[in-house]
Amino acid sequence: MLNNTTALRFNGALKTAKNFFTVSETAVRYEDPNLKTNFKYYPNRKVIINNNLNVGISIVYDEFTAIPHENAFDLGVHIFEMMFGVTPQIHREVTNNRTTDYSVDLISEKCKIVFDQEGYRYVNSAQGDEVNFMDRQEENNLMPDLRNERRMRNKQIAENFYDEYYPFVRVSNYLREGSMFRIELGYYRYRCSNGMMMGRTTKLTYTSNYKRTSWLELQQSAIDKFLRYKHEFLDMAQKLWRLLSIGIPKAQIRMVTFDIFKKELLKKNIEQRKKLQLSLNQLVDKYVAEIGENLNAALNVATDFSKQLEGSRVSPSTLQTLATEWMNRTTHPRFNIHTYLEALEGIEERVINAIEIEDMEEEIKF
């Protein structure tokens, strides 16, 4: 059964101490098999210790820079304040059982992007800003082709359409090998908390490995990057608006979900796929009623559906990035909706009935 979606949550507490602890490091030693009372040092490795629990949580290479989760959180807050001029709230915060992996989504009720049939605008109530974009000119001032595009778009957008998206900053930190320190910018849709990342190739994603660096250097390089590209967070709003202008029949919207998540669905057995398939009916009805028969509705169907695919091996970031990659393809100037839909013909049946593929072990992310 499909779970009812809920509106975006803005948690009041800025910082919760339960996910934060100091760390220390010690060399790796092992017992000499020939002399039990003697211990030897293992070269080029060290143990990271959670001081609050007084336990070792991972073994890493000597040059690994251990960044406390609280430091990562504080940097995310600083970048959010730098980007939007307001102190954020926490929407989502997760730490794994070993306490090595930490992720937080920072957001604010005070800054949002509002969409309606006339265009979109960025609103920041903390700064008193409201900046309009796109088609908010008088109809008579538009060129004929733009007037025609507006008329066509209004036919495929739901009556009284109104939508709100909230930009958010996601910080992911790891006290173990195998992952990168990451700060990403994305959008949450208010009505149903659908999350979309701007994508790992965007200028508003910062990544760094933990080797031969210092926390001071990492902080400064992240701040420099987000400051340099500060105003490009509206690129995704432009793409969401573009999706509203591309019509797609209601009956074909479900094919988009199978296109975006084909590989993830093929890791499920056929019985699981059929259960997931049934949930699409309600999602399509919901988003067509709210948004209309267009690719923006199709994207929201897919991102809502993705919540049911999350598991220990598939992270929200991974699934949200898949949706963003699809959005980048479909908003390209040379994209043709008719060619696209022709290529997807029969995809639902093919995916549902395909042989299950091996679910390869992947690193656990957030």
Residue after which a domain boundary falls, among 64, 87, 121: 64
Position 123 in a domain = no
Q: Are 14 and 104 in contact (CB under 8 A)?
A: no
Position 251 in a domain = yes
Position 269 in a domain = yes
H or E segment at 313? none
Q: What is the pLDDT of residue 149?
A: 55
Place of tokens 């500060």: 230
Residue 218 corresponds to which tokens in the numbers above?
């990492």
Position 160 in a domain = no
Position 337 in a domain = yes
Position 186 in a domain = no
**Digit-coded pLDDT (tens) for 211-263:** 988 999 999 999 999 999 988 889 889 999 999 999 999 999 999 999 999 99
Residue after which a domain boundary falls, among 32, 47, 64: 64
Residue 131 corresponds to which tokens in the numbers above?
């900046």
Average pLDDT over the chain reads: 86
**Digit-coded pLDDT (tens) for 37-53:** 777 778 899 999 999 99
Report the range of poorest mean pLDDT among 58-72, 214-228, 309-323. 309-323
Residue after which a domain boundary falls, among 41, 64, 87: 64
pLDDT for residue 362 is more than 50: no
Domain count, the chain: 2
Q: CA-CA-CA-CA torsion for 144, 146, 152, 153, nearest 10 degrees?
A: -160
Higher pLDDT, 223 or 322: 223
Position 101 in a domain = no
Domain hosting 312: range is 244-353
Report the range of poorest mean pLDDT among 17-21, 34-38, 146-150, 179-183. 146-150
Mean pLDDT, range 11-21, rounded to an integer: 79
Report the range of poorest mean pLDDT among 190-194, 302-306, 344-348. 190-194
Q: Are 258 and 348 in contact (CB under 8 A)?
A: yes
Report d(CA 353, CA 345) in Å as an integer: 15
**Digit-coded pLDDT (tens) for 128-153:** 777 777 544 444 444 455 555 555 55
Q: How many CB atoms lie within 10 A of CB 141?
A: 8
Report d(CA 211, CA 206) in Å as an integer: 16
**Digit-coded pLDDT (tens) for 182-219:** 999 999 999 887 887 766 666 889 999 999 889 999 99
Q: CB neighbours of 238 closer than 8 A, spacing ≥ 6?
A: 133
Mean pLDDT, range 323-341, rounded to an integer: 93
* 78 confidence band (pLDDT: 50, 70, 90): very high
**Digit-coded pLDDT (tens) for 284-299:** 999 999 999 999 999 9
pTM, 2 dp:
0.83
Position 202 in a domain = no
